[in-house]
Structure formats: structure tokens, C-alpha cells
Amino acid sequence: MEGPTPVSALIHAATMVCTTKDNNINVSSINKSLDPYFVTGYSDGESSFSIRLRKSIDSKWGYKILPVFSIGAQINPHNKILLEKVKEFFGGIGWISASGNMNTYRKF
């Protein structure tokens, strides 16, 4: 089998947001990049694709169609770091916003 197994990918990803005994974020583990297998699995469970319609005078039909990828996590410092790493994985494109008790990364 080539590449990491799903279990090793999950273990690798878990080290991304580990904390020390006093709940400080372990900075050395934050600097690693996310494993593609982890991003695939996390996206499978926590992401969605949607379509947004925006009025546009440049469009033949008067609307612009925008496909959107979104992935969410409950608000806490660890999940915010995880979503920042997901954003970095996708080339830094998109943004992270908070609404209610969720942080959401969105990419058009």
C-alpha cells in the first residue's frame, strides 16, 4: 500500500493540534502541513458543497453561479488552527468565519 494508512493519517493530523499539560498549544506541531488523507476524511464527514446565485449585470441571465466548498468545526482554539491549516492546504484561498458556535472555512 502506498502512502499512509487512514489510521496513520489521523494520528498525524491529531498531532497538528495537540496541547501541552497546561493547555497551551504545541507550536512545533502546528508548523507541519496536513496529510491529504486526513483532509479527505475530515471533508467527508464535515464538509459540503453548495451553489450560490448572485445577481450580475455581466451575466447573460442576470445571475452568476458560484460553487462553494465549506467545512466546519465547533469554535475553540484547536479547531480554529485546524481550519487555518485546511485553508493553507487549499493554497490559502478562502476565508474562515464564525457564526453561532461554529467556525467555517469557505472557498469559492
pLDDT tens, 7-23? 344 444 444 444 444 54
Q: State pTM to two decimals.
A: 0.65
Domains of the chain with CATH codes:
6-107 (3.10.28.10)
Report the distance separating Cα 33 and Cα 24, nearest Å: 20
- pLDDT on residue 31: 52
DSSP code per residue over the chain = --S--HHHHHHHHHGGG-B-TTS-B-HHHHTSPPPHHHHHHHHHHHEEEEEEEEE-TTSTTSEEEEEEEEEEEESSHHHHHHHHHHHHHTTT-SEEEEETTEEEEEE-
Considering the chain, what is the average pLDDT of its residues? 78
> Which has more pLDDT, 77 or 26?
77
Beta-bridge mates of residue 69? 49, 107
